[in-house]
Amino acid sequence: MTGLHYLDWLVVGVYFGILALVVWRTARRQETSADYFLAGRNVGWFVIGASLFASNIGSEHLVGLAGSGAKSGVAMAHYELHAWCLLVLGWVLVPFYYRAGVYTMPEFLERRYNPTARWILSLVSLVAYVFTKVSVTVYAGGTVFQALLPELEIAGINSFWIGAVSVVVLTGFYTCFGGLRAVVYTDAVQTVVLILGSLCVTAIGLYQLGGWAELRELSGTERFNLWRPASDPEFPWPGMLFAAPIVGLWYWCTDQYIVQRTLAARNLKMARRGTLFGAYLKITPVFLFIVPGMIAYALVQKNMLVLDDPDQAFPAMVSQLLPVGIRGLVVGGLLAALMSSLSSLFNSCSSLFTVDIYKKIAPRASERELVTVGRMATGVVVVLGLLWIPAMQLVAGALYEYLQSVQAYLAPPMTAVFFLGVFWKRVNGKGAVATLLLGFALGLAKLGCQVYAGLVPPERLETLSFIQQMLVAYGSINFLLFCVYLFLFCCATLVLVSLCTAKPDTAQIANLTYATNTAEGRDEVRASWNRWDVIHTTVVLLIILSVYLYFTG
């Protein structure tokens, strides 16, 4: 593709016009911190579900998942079948979050454990967001722009930087002034555009290829199999079976970036139904992003597509297969993926800094002051994300793997602390603090050793000292298997330290664990669901099971 047709630009222009209208309508009332950070706690199930999906699907998913599909088939679909984790969020954890009335996940940890646990999680989350999610999403978005508009250049600045900077600034602007209300309602619009655009790529790609049977024949059995041998260096089946859920439960059930949408619900019923709708949507990436990558691989085998790099699978299909107009819709979908993820990240960072750090430092701050600080924090995160882009260029070609490995090192301590904290009343604040500190330290050490191991040429291994060889060996452990080992270590640490120290105060953990639920709390939860919630939960689980069975061979 040498450029977008004027009809494509017209479609993109209509998309931005609708987006601007939504932002204008939703960003007018931002007087209190509840308005700014939780959309006034008055959001319905459809918007919550759409926002959960749109926040999750960023440009790194479009680039990374399609690239993974082109490179290795459906192996990464395990992460996209984590729709069941959203069911865990809605049925298990949201009732505790909602009754606690918290704004952030670190705030919940303070209620359940102590202030130290809150500080640790707040700081780690902020640093991780800026240096992983924000920067990876921005870099992947710039890469998409570079692939789709290679000829675009203004004053010597190429399309990568034009796309990355303009979208970040625009997204930062409406997030800064509109707060979570603008974020969730624009997410609802962006979800529609994203699904329609990606569906067009899948449908037209399959039509050009000759249908699903042709895809299966050209891909082979191995590429259609979710499970790899235990000896597989990238995706061993024990790692995918156990590590993927550990990361998934952290991400979907305890990460501020995701959970904040449910905290904005009108009531507990809307929060749960939002997660149910989000679970339906979460199943679609297997067919909207991974399958197009597999189609790209098959088209290359038939010499119907030119593809130099697997990570360019999605942009290549857009540029070489789609007709005028439809191409503009898909470009709008790509922008939607980038902007929805960024807006959610910006708002979550703003909430974490303002509620968990600034409000602690200035407890008498007025509601208007908190909103102002939240907007300033959003601006700072935008700037830091832009400044980190050049560093992200050093990991080009490994964005999705980079993100997944970092999450595998950060997730285990948080998953252990949240879930054991809810299911067992005996674990205490000292156990949580020890788990978070040791878990994060071991995870960051693994990341550092992994970088070091990657810099050592294989022929130099025998010349290294014993300590250097141990560092290389530690860094070379498969990231999925390491995630499982670290999770077991964190669970053991939390249990042992808690048992060796005093029990938590009963009054403090009232309604924050299953064992300390009051009769009033149980009645509130029971009143929030009916048979339709159970039916939809069953349908989602059956669909997930069907996909697993189909892609197991």
What pLDDT score does 1 carry? 41
Report which residue type is found at 214.
Answer: E
List the one residue out of 409, 408, 416 whose CA is nearest residue 434. Answer: 416
What pLDDT score does 397 carry? 45
- Are 78 and 330 contacting, i.e. CB atoms less than 8 angstroms apart? no
What pLDDT score does 530 carry? 95
SS3 state of residue 153: strand
What pLDDT score does 395 carry? 45
- Are 37 and 183 contacting, i.e. CB atoms less than 8 angstroms apart? no
In SS3 terms, 274-285 reads as HHHHHHHHHCCH
* pTM (two decimals): 0.88
Q: Take residue 297 and report the two structure tokens written for it.
A: 């691989």
Q: How many helices (H) and strands (E) does the chain have?
A: 27, 2
* Architecture label for domain 6-395: Up-down Bundle (1.20)
Q: Give tens-digit pLDDT for 234-287.
A: 788 898 899 989 999 999 999 988 998 898 899 999 999 999 999 999 999 999
- Are 328 and 11 contacting, i.e. CB atoms less than 8 angstroms apart? yes
What pLDDT score does 391 carry? 59
Q: Take residue 376 and report the two structure tokens written for it.
A: 């300033």
Cα 97 from Cα 89, distance rounded (Å)? 10
Kindly state the DSSP code that residue 502 receives in the 8-state scheme.
Answer: P
Cα 96 from Cα 48, distance rounded (Å)? 18
pLDDT tens per residue across all 553 residues of the chain = 445 778 888 888 888 888 888 888 876 666 667 777 766 678 899 999 999 998 888 766 777 788 889 888 898 888 889 899 999 999 999 999 988 888 899 999 999 999 999 999 998 888 778 767 776 777 767 776 776 677 777 777 777 777 777 777 888 887 877 777 888 888 888 888 888 888 989 999 999 999 999 999 888 888 899 998 888 887 888 988 999 899 999 999 999 889 988 988 999 999 999 999 999 999 999 999 899 999 999 999 998 988 877 877 888 888 888 888 888 888 777 777 777 878 888 888 888 888 888 988 888 888 889 888 988 888 888 787 777 666 555 444 455 566 677 788 889 999 999 999 999 999 999 999 999 999 999 998 998 888 787 777 777 877 888 888 888 888 888 889 999 999 999 999 999 999 999 999 988 898 899 998 888 888 989 999 999 999 999 999 999 999 999 998 7
Cα 436 from Cα 407, distance rounded (Å)? 14
What pLDDT score does 402 carry? 64
- Are 108 and 422 contacting, i.e. CB atoms less than 8 angstroms apart? no
Count Cα atoms within 13 angstroms, Cβ side, for 278: 36
What DSSP letter does each residue of 363-374 carry, written as one string?
TT--HHHHHHHH
Phi and psi angles of residue 265, each rounded to the nearest 5 degrees, phi first: -65, 150
Phi and psi angles of residue 5, each rounded to the nearest 5 degrees, phi first: -70, 160
Report which residue type is found at 22.
Answer: V
What pLDDT score does 212 carry? 93
CB neighbour burial string for 54-89, b if at least 16 within 10 angstroms, e if fewer = bbbbbbbbbbbbbbbbbbbbbbbbbbbbbbbbbbbb
Longest dimension (CA), the chain: 69
Cα 160 from Cα 152, distance rounded (Å)? 9
List the one residue out of 325, 541, 504 whose CA is nearest residue 426. Answer: 504
- Are 230 and 237 contacting, i.e. CB atoms less than 8 angstroms apart? yes
Q: Take residue 352 and report the two structure tokens written for it.
A: 């974490």
Q: Give tens-digit pLDDT for 123-168.
A: 888 877 876 777 677 776 777 677 667 777 777 777 777 777 777 7
Cα 482 from Cα 443, distance rounded (Å)? 9
Q: Which residues contact 254 (CB under 8 A, 6 or more apart)?
A: 93, 105, 414, 415, 418
